[in-house]
Amino acid sequence: MQVTALHFQRTAAASLHDAQLQRALARLQTKFVDARAAATEIRDRALRALDRHLLRFEREATARGTVVHWAESAEDVKRIVAEIADLCREAREVLRPRFLAADLGITGANFLVAETGSVVLVTNEGNGRLCTTLPRVHVALTGIEKVVPTLEDVTTLLRLLPRAATGQSITNYVSVLTGTKGADESDGPDHFHIILLDNGRSGLLGTELQPMLRCIRCGACMNHCPVYQSIGGHPYGWVYPGPMGSVLTPAFMGLENALDLPHASTLCGACAAVCPVSIPLPDLLRHLRHRQVERHLRPRPERIGLWIWSWLAQRPALYAMAARSAARLLRILAGRKHRLLHLPGASGWMRARDLPAPAGRTFRDLYRTGRRA
């Protein structure tokens, strides 16, 4: 194939004036931009009246025979699930011969629908269908922020979720589950329990981290993150890997329990660019870093270093003098090779890098000379 890259500017100009091409490109863009704006508004709208939607959800679900539980923490969840399992076991001892398969199916939920009291499950394999159709008891455990008002809202989100996650237009199976098996039905669970878990979520409402509650767990931020691409998911150390984990883990489990996560990012912005619900992840990560400093959670050498720098930076004359001496010192240390191979306190950084020697004069010196000339 002939290389025509030399004509880039001319061809690009022609493309810019090609009405048909521009229409096609615009359609491609606006489709995502429109859907993303709508999805963001849907999630925000749901969060603005979260308690109303949860109450409506509870009312509708209860009317269909679903039992709704509320849990503050993982401990609550364990207790509730154990109670449900106990009920199961009692029934099992009486009716054992009839239940060859599992008695209890446990799932999460991708969305909750306030309008209908339904749980929405998105899967490719069919495992979600299996464990919500065959067992006698279905337990769905999910965060309180998953509720959206209507089926239409879910539909808009369903257009974005699989595309952002795996590039699919829709997952193989989407199940919208409402209540227990009808008296005349052959399939489905006799008991349906939904556990609404808070575990730190309500504490994010009204704070800088509230946009994180829009998250629909697609994983697009993770797939596009250069840090995640280099280290994979395990180092993130909890349920959620990638940038979403770097915000969610400290937000739910405490900033002091995830000190490195807000720093596991180059802040390149790829995560925010691809997020289908416009979560400003780099801003949130920067905010968490800020909070770490405020709460004195950074390591002592870093704190002392920053204190010294800020003390100096507020004294311009002293700062200029220190900078001038540092530049001169580094130049002497660099010697004739004009590059530094080691620096005390930065051995990790310098192991793979050389530092070119400073020119000997600071920027301020050069600036002053330049202005005079």
Partner 1 sequence: MSAREAILARIARARGVAGAAVDADDLIRRHPRGPTAPPDEDLVQWFCSQAAHLASDVARAATLAEVPEQAARYLRERQLPMQAVCWPGLAALDWRTAGIAAAARPVRNTDLVGITGACAAIAETGTLMLLSGLDTPATVSLLPETHIAVVEQARIVATMEDAWDRLRAEHSALPRAVTFVSGPSRTADVEQTVTLGAHGPYRVLILVVEAPGR
Residue whose CB is less far from partner 1, 178 or 350: 178
CB of 340 to partner 1, least distance (A): 43
Sign, CA dihedral 21-22-27-32, equals: positive
Torsion, Cα of 240, 246, 252, 255 (10° steps): 150
The answer to whether residues 143 and 110 touch, using CB atoms and an 8 Å cutoff, is no
Residue whose CB is less far from partner 1, 46 or 357: 46
Structure tokens, 252? 């739910």
Structure tokens, 15? 């493309």
Name, in order, each residue with C-beta under 8 angstroms of 61's C-beta and a sequence gap of 6 or more: 68, 117, 118, 178, 179, 194
CB of 235 to partner 1, least distance (A): 20
> 72: alpha, beta or left, given left = phi > 0 and alpha = psi -120 to 50?
alpha
Determine the Cα–Cα distance for residues 87 and 300; give it in Å rounded to an integer. 53
Residue whose CB is less far from partner 1, 60 or 255: 60
CB of 49 to partner 1, least distance (A): 4
Residue whose CB is less far from partner 1, 180 or 292: 180
Residue whose CB is less far from partner 1, 176 or 366: 176
CB of 176 to partner 1, least distance (A): 4
Residue whose CB is less far from partner 1, 126 or 305: 126
Determine the Cα–Cα distance for residues 102 and 200; give it in Å rounded to an integer. 32
Determine the Cα–Cα distance for residues 198 and 177; give it in Å rounded to an integer. 22
Other Cβ atoms within 10 Å of 44 Cβ, number:
15
Q: For binding to partner 1 (CB under 8 A), which residues are involved?
A: 31, 34-35, 38-39, 42, 45, 48-56, 64, 70-72, 76, 114-116, 118, 124-127, 129-130, 132-134, 144, 149-153, 155-156, 158-159, 166, 169-182, 184-188, 196, 198, 202-203, 205-206
CB of 205 to partner 1, least distance (A): 4
CB of 311 to partner 1, least distance (A): 38
Name, in order, each residue with C-beta under 8 angstroms of 93's C-beta and a sequence gap of 6 or more: none
CB of 182 to partner 1, least distance (A): 6
Closest by Cα among 140, 136, 130, 81 to 103? 136
Residue whose CB is less far from partner 1, 59 or 295: 59
Which helix (H) or strand (E) covers residue 96, if one does?
none
The answer to whether residues 131 and 157 touch, using CB atoms and an 8 Å cutoff, is no
CB of 166 to partner 1, least distance (A): 7
Determine the Cα–Cα distance for residues 21 and 14; give it in Å rounded to an integer. 10
Residue whose CB is less far from partner 1, 35 or 91: 35
